[in-house]
Structure 1
Amino acid sequence: MAVTFDLFGTLVDVEYPVDPAEVVARELESRGVAVPDDWHVAYGERHVDAPTGAEVPLPAHVAHALDSRGVDAPGNIVRHAVVAAFDPDVTRRDGALTAVRDVAAHGPVGLLSNCAVPELVPKTLIRAGLRGEFDAVTTSVGCGWRKPHPNAFEAVAAALEVSSETLVHVGDDPETDGGVVDVGGRFVDVTETPLSAVAAELEPEP
């Protein structure tokens, strides 16, 4: 058995920008990019024809949104702007570190997070004091697929060198995290089973 954890809303809480398009616009403008007048419209449009369940990295989305309005911006500038726009305060949830360490007694422990922003997950783990606690860290921006797509769970299983059927995924969203059951795994919902009880939940019944 291998245990994987969701990150945002499960192990940590973060303050997301209320208006992501506006924050990204400010970061772009501070780097000399001429943001179009209808930026909020462009930001909200779909610009990349990706398969269902595939992750589109936010810098790619932003670059295509700018290009759709005739604005050409170097990719490194767009990436830096996006990374700077999503630089949140992070609070580790009560019992998170203990839960991760306790379940390690049952086998490999991984992290599987939906996140379209490069660098955000590693940064969050550092700020939450969780860096180095996982045998594998898999993100949607890294593997190319978002939960609940089976490919996301199969990616973290491969990183942990286990079969997807052995996964127990701990998360807070049945719609996304619950997708583990489609690859034969098990879902533990932290809205029903608190982090302090996750390890006990994995103990075999007598």
Structure 2
Amino acid sequence: MSPTATSFDLFGTLVDVPRPADTAAAVGRELRERGVAVPDDWAEAYREPHVDAPAGAEVPLPAHVTAALASRGVDAPGNAARRAVVAAFDPEVTTREGAPEAVRAAADRGPVGLLSNCAVPELVGRTLVRSGLARDDFDAVVSSVACGWCKPDARAFEALAGRLDAPVGSLTHVGDTPEADGGVADAGGTFVDVGTTPLPTLAARWAVDP
């Protein structure tokens, strides 16, 4: 049997990471900590689109924050916007039941990748460090902020498949969001929904039938 390439979504699939209850407020607080004069209508500015990106493209959150500030005549010096965003999303990580076992079982079948929609720089890496997983568990780690494309866009899956040196049509992608992770099927691959096939079940299945 030829090797099977497998990829996993990160947030909501392998780990749980709570988002800030109010992302605009969290980012605004971190901006103020870095000496940025946050405008009075920051919540409104944060909600507005400011970067004209093509369909399927990821807009890095620091770029959005910088543009939102600029729309109100505020400059964020240096890399203040990036540092504020990274701090606002500093993760508390819970590794989901069966995640390490599922990744190991997938590795017995062939190359394993991680493909995450994430607009926050460094968040994927920090999350892995604080989880029961490691970068070395994956042959490739691709985030939308790094590759420029978001699931369900086929280019996101193609970027991961290219890193795994595998045809995108051979990819089995495990995720929790059919609207995003299910896009692998449109690219010719196979989608496994952890909502209907939990990770422990998947790991047991692959251990028996690699």
TM-score by shorter chain over 0.5: yes
- Provide the residue aligned with 2:179 in structure 1: 175
Residues 82-97 of structure 1 mapped to structure 2, 5 A cutoff: 82-97=85-100
Q: Is the 8 A contact 2:60 2:145 kept in 1?
A: yes
In the alignment, structure 1 residue 29 sits paired with structure 2 residue 17? no
Match of 1:119 among 118, 122, 125: 122
How many residue pairs align between the two structures?
205
Please give the secondary structure, in 1, of the residue aligned with 2:6.
Answer: strand
Partner amino acid, structure 2, of 1:192: T
Q: Is the 8 A contact 1:63 1:75 kept in 2?
A: no
TM-score, reference length from structure 1: 0.96
d(CA) in 1 for partners of 2:15 and 2:50?
31
Please give the secondary structure, in 1, of the residue aligned with 2:46.
Answer: helix
d(CA) in 1 for partners of 2:201 and 2:207?
10
TM-score, reference length from structure 2: 0.95
Q: Identity of paired residues, percent?
A: 65
d(CA) in 2 for partners of 1:98 and 1:202?
10
> For structure 2, which runs of at least 5 residues remain unmatched after alignment?
none
> For structure 1, which runs of at least 5 residues remain unmatched after alignment?
none
In the alignment, structure 1 residue 15 sits paired with structure 2 residue 49? no
| Structure 1 stretches of at least 4 aligned residues deviating more than 3 Å after TM superposition | 199-205
Please give the secondary structure, in 2, of the residue aligned with 1:78.
Answer: helix
- Provide the residue aligned with 1:134 in structure 2: 138
Please give the secondary structure, in 1, of the residue aligned with 2:66.
Answer: helix
1:97-138, CA deviations, whole angstroms, 9 ceiling, x for partnerless residues? 011001111100000000000000000001002112100000
d(CA) in 1 for partners of 2:77 and 2:159?
31
